[in-house]
Protein backbone atom coordinates (compact mmCIF):
# COMPACT_ATOMS: atom_id res chain seq x y z
CA UNK A 1 0.00 0.00 0.00
CA UNK A 2 1.57 3.27 -1.05
CA UNK A 3 -0.83 6.08 -0.23
CA UNK A 4 0.83 9.34 0.91
CA UNK A 5 0.58 10.07 4.61
CA UNK A 6 -1.76 13.06 4.23
CA UNK A 7 -4.20 10.93 2.26
CA UNK A 8 -4.05 8.37 5.04
CA UNK A 9 -4.84 11.14 7.49
CA UNK A 10 -7.87 12.19 5.42
CA UNK A 11 -9.01 8.56 5.22
CA UNK A 12 -8.67 8.31 8.99
CA UNK A 13 -10.80 11.46 9.42
CA UNK A 14 -13.39 9.98 7.06
CA UNK A 15 -13.53 6.81 9.12
CA UNK A 16 -13.93 8.85 12.31
CA UNK A 17 -16.77 10.82 10.70
CA UNK A 18 -18.56 7.58 9.89
CA UNK A 19 -17.95 6.36 13.44
CA UNK A 20 -19.49 9.57 14.82
CA UNK A 21 -22.45 9.25 12.46
CA UNK A 22 -23.15 5.83 13.94
CA UNK A 23 -22.61 7.11 17.48
CA UNK A 24 -25.20 9.83 16.80
CA UNK A 25 -27.60 7.25 15.42
CA UNK A 26 -27.38 5.19 18.59
CA UNK A 27 -27.29 8.10 21.05
CA UNK A 28 -30.22 8.43 23.41
CA UNK A 29 -29.37 11.71 25.11
CA UNK A 30 -29.73 15.11 23.48
CA UNK A 31 -26.75 16.59 25.33
CA UNK A 32 -24.35 13.91 24.08
CA UNK A 33 -25.88 14.29 20.63
CA UNK A 34 -24.89 17.94 20.51
CA UNK A 35 -21.38 17.19 21.79
CA UNK A 36 -21.01 14.54 19.09
CA UNK A 37 -22.15 17.07 16.50
CA UNK A 38 -19.47 19.51 17.69
CA UNK A 39 -16.86 16.74 17.48
CA UNK A 40 -18.01 15.93 13.94
CA UNK A 41 -17.53 19.56 12.99
CA UNK A 42 -14.04 19.56 14.51
CA UNK A 43 -12.96 16.49 12.52
CA UNK A 44 -14.53 17.91 9.37
CA UNK A 45 -12.64 21.16 9.79
CA UNK A 46 -9.38 19.30 10.43
CA UNK A 47 -9.79 17.09 7.37
CA UNK A 48 -10.64 20.11 5.21
CA UNK A 49 -7.48 21.82 6.43
CA UNK A 50 -5.47 18.70 5.56
CA UNK A 51 -7.00 18.62 2.07
CA UNK A 52 -6.15 22.32 1.70
CA UNK A 53 -2.57 21.65 2.76
CA UNK A 54 -2.18 18.64 0.44
CA UNK A 55 -3.58 20.30 -2.64
CA UNK A 56 -2.55 23.90 -1.78
CA UNK A 57 -6.09 25.10 -2.48
CA UNK A 58 -6.12 28.21 -0.31
CA UNK A 59 -9.86 28.82 -0.33
CA UNK A 60 -10.28 25.53 1.51
CA UNK A 61 -8.47 27.03 4.52
CA UNK A 62 -11.24 29.61 4.66
CA UNK A 63 -13.93 26.96 4.61
CA UNK A 64 -12.06 24.99 7.30
CA UNK A 65 -11.98 28.07 9.51
CA UNK A 66 -15.63 28.77 8.75
CA UNK A 67 -16.54 25.19 9.69
CA UNK A 68 -14.57 25.50 12.90
CA UNK A 69 -16.24 28.75 13.86
CA UNK A 70 -19.76 27.85 12.85
CA UNK A 71 -20.14 24.14 13.52
CA UNK A 72 -17.83 23.67 16.47
CA UNK A 73 -18.49 26.85 18.40
CA UNK A 74 -21.58 28.81 17.34
CA UNK A 75 -24.15 26.12 16.47
CA UNK A 76 -23.44 23.87 19.49
CA UNK A 77 -23.61 26.94 21.73
CA UNK A 78 -26.99 27.90 20.27
CA UNK A 79 -28.22 24.32 20.66
CA UNK A 80 -26.99 24.14 24.26
CA UNK A 81 -28.79 27.39 25.03
CA UNK A 82 -31.93 26.09 23.36
CA UNK A 83 -32.10 22.86 25.29
CA UNK A 84 -31.37 24.70 28.51
CA UNK A 85 -34.22 27.10 27.82
CA UNK A 86 -36.58 24.36 26.68
CA UNK A 87 -35.38 22.21 29.58
CA UNK A 88 -35.07 19.00 27.56
CA UNK A 89 -31.90 17.19 28.54
CA UNK A 90 -33.47 13.80 29.08
CA UNK A 91 -33.59 10.71 26.92
CA UNK A 92 -34.79 10.88 23.36
CA UNK A 93 -37.42 8.45 22.21
CA UNK A 94 -36.61 6.70 18.97
CA UNK A 95 -39.30 5.30 16.72
CA UNK A 96 -37.71 1.85 16.34
CA UNK A 97 -35.40 0.11 18.73
CA UNK A 98 -31.78 1.06 18.30
CA UNK A 99 -30.32 -2.28 17.04
CA UNK A 100 -32.83 -2.21 14.16
CA UNK A 101 -31.79 1.34 13.31
CA UNK A 102 -28.15 0.33 13.41
CA UNK A 103 -28.82 -2.60 11.08
CA UNK A 104 -30.62 -0.32 8.62
CA UNK A 105 -27.64 2.03 8.96
CA UNK A 106 -25.27 -0.78 8.06
CA UNK A 107 -27.33 -1.59 4.97
CA UNK A 108 -27.23 2.11 4.03
CA UNK A 109 -23.44 2.14 4.37
CA UNK A 110 -23.11 -0.86 2.04
CA UNK A 111 -25.48 0.85 -0.42
CA UNK A 112 -23.54 4.13 -0.27
CA UNK A 113 -20.18 2.41 -0.72
CA UNK A 114 -21.45 0.56 -3.79
CA UNK A 115 -23.04 3.71 -5.19
CA UNK A 116 -19.89 5.74 -4.75
CA UNK A 117 -17.48 3.18 -6.15
CA UNK A 118 -17.96 4.00 -9.89
CA UNK A 119 -18.10 7.75 -9.21
CA UNK A 120 -14.92 7.81 -7.17
CA UNK A 121 -13.11 5.89 -9.91
CA UNK A 122 -13.77 8.77 -12.24
CA UNK A 123 -12.72 11.46 -9.80
CA UNK A 124 -9.08 12.46 -9.91
CA UNK A 125 -8.73 13.87 -6.43
CA UNK A 126 -6.55 12.58 -3.60
CA UNK A 127 -9.64 12.07 -1.52
CA UNK A 128 -11.69 10.13 -4.02
CA UNK A 129 -12.02 7.01 -1.88
CA UNK A 130 -13.71 8.94 0.92
CA UNK A 131 -16.70 9.82 -1.28
CA UNK A 132 -18.45 6.61 -0.22
CA UNK A 133 -18.08 7.55 3.42
CA UNK A 134 -19.37 11.06 2.76
CA UNK A 135 -22.48 9.66 1.06
CA UNK A 136 -22.90 7.15 3.87
CA UNK A 137 -22.85 9.90 6.48
CA UNK A 138 -25.41 11.93 4.53
CA UNK A 139 -27.69 8.90 4.39
CA UNK A 140 -27.12 8.07 8.06
CA UNK A 141 -28.02 11.62 9.12
CA UNK A 142 -31.11 11.33 6.97
CA UNK A 143 -31.97 8.07 8.71
CA UNK A 144 -31.49 9.80 12.04
CA UNK A 145 -33.94 12.53 11.05
CA UNK A 146 -36.47 9.89 10.02
CA UNK A 147 -36.20 7.79 13.16
CA UNK A 148 -36.44 10.57 15.73
CA UNK A 149 -39.76 11.96 16.76
CA UNK A 150 -38.57 14.98 18.75
CA UNK A 151 -37.70 18.28 17.11
CA UNK A 152 -34.20 18.92 18.47
CA UNK A 153 -32.62 15.60 17.38
CA UNK A 154 -34.16 16.10 13.96
CA UNK A 155 -32.47 19.47 13.67
CA UNK A 156 -29.15 17.96 14.80
CA UNK A 157 -29.67 15.33 12.12
CA UNK A 158 -30.25 18.06 9.55
CA UNK A 159 -27.06 19.85 10.58
CA UNK A 160 -25.12 16.58 10.51
CA UNK A 161 -26.45 15.98 6.99
CA UNK A 162 -25.08 19.35 5.97
CA UNK A 163 -21.70 18.26 7.41
CA UNK A 164 -21.86 15.12 5.30
CA UNK A 165 -22.65 17.12 2.15
CA UNK A 166 -19.75 19.45 2.85
CA UNK A 167 -17.45 16.48 3.24
CA UNK A 168 -18.76 14.96 0.01
CA UNK A 169 -18.06 18.23 -1.82
CA UNK A 170 -14.54 18.35 -0.43
CA UNK A 171 -13.77 14.78 -1.32
CA UNK A 172 -15.26 14.83 -4.82
CA UNK A 173 -14.21 18.23 -6.13
CA UNK A 174 -12.04 19.92 -3.49
CA UNK A 175 -14.94 21.94 -2.21
CA UNK A 176 -17.48 24.28 -3.72
CA UNK A 177 -16.71 27.87 -4.71
CA UNK A 178 -16.32 30.13 -1.70
CA UNK A 179 -19.45 32.14 -2.50
CA UNK A 180 -21.60 29.00 -2.45
CA UNK A 181 -20.00 27.86 0.79
CA UNK A 182 -20.55 31.22 2.47
CA UNK A 183 -24.15 31.13 1.30
CA UNK A 184 -24.70 27.65 2.73
CA UNK A 185 -23.06 28.63 6.02
CA UNK A 186 -25.35 31.62 6.29
CA UNK A 187 -28.33 29.46 5.37
CA UNK A 188 -27.54 26.97 8.09
CA UNK A 189 -27.08 29.71 10.65
CA UNK A 190 -30.30 31.48 9.75
CA UNK A 191 -32.12 28.15 9.52
CA UNK A 192 -30.92 27.36 13.00
CA UNK A 193 -32.29 30.64 14.35
CA UNK A 194 -35.63 30.12 12.66
CA UNK A 195 -35.87 26.53 13.87
CA UNK A 196 -35.00 27.74 17.36
CA UNK A 197 -37.97 30.11 17.26
CA UNK A 198 -40.10 27.29 15.82
CA UNK A 199 -39.25 25.08 18.80
CA UNK A 200 -40.85 27.55 21.13
CA UNK A 201 -43.87 27.98 18.86
CA UNK A 202 -44.33 24.21 18.58
CA UNK A 203 -44.12 23.85 22.33
CA UNK A 204 -46.60 26.62 22.92
CA UNK A 205 -49.03 25.07 20.43
CA UNK A 206 -48.76 21.41 21.42
CA UNK A 207 -47.22 21.44 24.93
CA UNK A 208 -44.52 19.10 23.63
CA UNK A 209 -41.73 18.94 21.09
CA UNK A 210 -42.94 15.62 19.73
CA UNK A 211 -43.56 16.16 16.05
CA UNK A 212 -46.10 13.36 15.88
CA UNK A 213 -48.64 15.96 16.97
CA UNK A 214 -48.09 17.82 13.73
CA UNK A 215 -49.16 14.87 11.60
CA UNK A 216 -52.82 15.53 12.35
CA UNK A 217 -54.30 18.20 10.14
CA UNK A 218 -57.63 18.60 11.88
CA UNK A 219 -58.53 19.08 15.48
CA UNK A 220 -60.34 16.05 16.89
Kindly list the residues in this chain that would bind other proteins in the complex (CB under 8 A). Answer: 1, 3, 5, 8-9, 11-12, 14-16, 18-19, 22, 26, 97-99, 102-103, 105-106, 109-110, 113, 129-130, 132-133
Q: What are phi and psi of 91, to 5 degrees?
A: -60, 150
Shortest separation between residue 70's beta carbon and other proteins, angstroms: 26
Cβ nearer to other proteins, comparing 144 with 195: 144
Query: Own/partner pairs for 86-89, CB < 8 Å, 24+ apart?
Result: 86/152, 86/199, 86/200, 86/203, 86/209, 88/30, 88/150, 88/152, 88/209, 89/29, 89/30, 89/31
Cβ nearer to other proteins, comparing 19 with 77: 19
Shortest separation between residue 153's beta carbon and other proteins, angstroms: 18
Cβ nearer to other proteins, comparing 70 with 168: 168
Angle of CA points 142, 198, 24, to nearest 5°: 30
Cβ nearer to other proteins, comparing 137 with 163: 137
Cβ nearer to other proteins, comparing 93 with 187: 93
CA distances for 129 relative to 85, 121, 157, angstroms: 42, 8, 24
Shortest separation between residue 105's beta carbon and other proteins, angstroms: 8
Shortest separation between residue 55's beta carbon and other proteins, angstroms: 18
Q: Which of 79, 82, 30, 71 is nearest to 47 (CA)?
A: 71
Shortest separation between residue 187's beta carbon and other proteins, angstroms: 30
d(CA 28, CA 16): 20
Amino acid sequence: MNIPFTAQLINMCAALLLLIAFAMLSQRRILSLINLFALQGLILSFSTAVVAYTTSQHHLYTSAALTLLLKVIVLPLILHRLIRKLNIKWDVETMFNIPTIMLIGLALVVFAFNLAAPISQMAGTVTKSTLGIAMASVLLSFLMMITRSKAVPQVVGFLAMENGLFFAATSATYGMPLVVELGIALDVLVGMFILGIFFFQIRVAFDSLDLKHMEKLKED
